[in-house]
Amino acid sequence: MLAYIARRLLQMIPILLGVSLIVFLLFTKVGEDPVRVALGTHATPEAIATLSAKWGLDQPMPIQYLNFLKQIVTFDFGESYATHEKLSDTFANGAIVSLSLTVPPFLAGLLLNVSLAVLIAFYRGSWIDRYSTILFVAGMSISYLVYIMSFQYIFSYLLGWFPINGYEPGLDAIPYLILPWIITIVVTSGPEIRLFRTVFLDETRADYVRTATAKGCSPRQVMFKHIMRNALIPILTYTVIEIPALILGAFLMERFFSIPGTGDILITAINNGDFPVIKGMTILIAIAFTLFNLITDLLYAYVDPRVQLD
């Protein structure tokens, strides 16, 4: 196991180098000149030269790339061009806010959706299965934006149950997070329950299910003792791959509820042409995805001993 982890970590190095090179070239060769974006079209050559030297953009390309690699290794991405704040602090604060917004509904929704999917699969072909399928497909057809605006109008404007604006970090922020949590659970319930139901139904056709039934196991025992365990691998794949997105935050949710998470930080950076923020966020998400891919493989071996890690 340790040899496999070490080998996978070494394999991450060329992947991240490739990602870093692509990101660097996109923002230095393809993207706009950040100095001209910051100073405007009427900037003098002296002002352009001064700001380029301050940001290290007057150095040769290989030196700039090596400096970028140093930032990745040290997780110190410098300062924001727009706010002049240290990006490590900005990312850390934004990640805490985004995680408080995304993790509770993610965990609660996962538990609820797996439970409902098991129930629906257990009563497959019944009216519960038919009507729930219609309900969830209809729910999946509605835009995320429609959910946000409708819930804000009904529960905040008409009923006055939840505040929308005025978020401040800390325990006082919980009232501002409840409605986004509810919206997230509602929006994700349709796709997740449909996926998990399909996983459970696929397992019901496996040979071990017929064997367990022939041995006298009740349908309840087959579902909860055998099928549940074997269905964990695809569910784990879906769940673990979704985790890096939690750090990135929910763009629309943070915008519409004025929550200063990483998603809001990234959108603001794109609007302002704040390239250090965009580059740093892109690299951090790439690192998160590669790490959680490794965690997924390790969980496979833990859940199913038949899985061999080569």
State pLDDT tens for residues 3-29.
Answer: 777 777 787 888 888 888 888 887 777
End-to-end CA distance of the chain: 9
Q: Would you state the pLDDT for residue 40? A: 66
Contact 137, 189 (CB under 8 A): no
Output DSSP code: residue 86: B
Measured CA to CA in angstroms, residue 6 lies from 60, 68, 297, 308 at distances of 35, 25, 13, 16
pLDDT tens, 256-284? 888 888 878 888 887 777 788 888 888 88
Are 170 and 305 in a shared domain? no
Pair (35, 120) in one structural domain: no
pLDDT at 245: 65
- Whether residue 4 lies inside any domain: the answer is yes
For residue range 45-67, list pLDDT tens digits in order. Answer: 777 777 777 777 777 888 888 88
- Angle at Cα 306 formed by Cα 305 and Cα 310, nearest 5°? 95
Look at residue 174 and tell me whether its pLDDT is greater than 70: yes
Token look-up 């602090």 returns: 89
Q: Is residue 288 a part of any domain in this protein?
A: yes
284 and 146 co-located in one domain: no
Written as one string, the DSSP assignment of 238-291 is: HHHHHHHHHHH--HHHHHHTT--SHHHHHHHHHHHT-HHHHHHHHHHHHHHHHH
Report the alpha-carbon distance of residue 145 to residue 98 in Å, rounded. Answer: 18
In a domain, 62, yes or no: yes
Please, are residues 285 and 292 in contact by the beta-carbon 8 Å criterion?
no
- What domain range is 214 assigned to? 87-272
Nearest alpha carbon to residue 197 among 226, 225, 222, 234: 234
Judged against a pLDDT cut of 70, whether residue 131 lies above it is answered with yes
Q: Mean pLDDT over residues 232-257, rounded?
A: 74
Question: Does 66 map to a domain?
Answer: yes
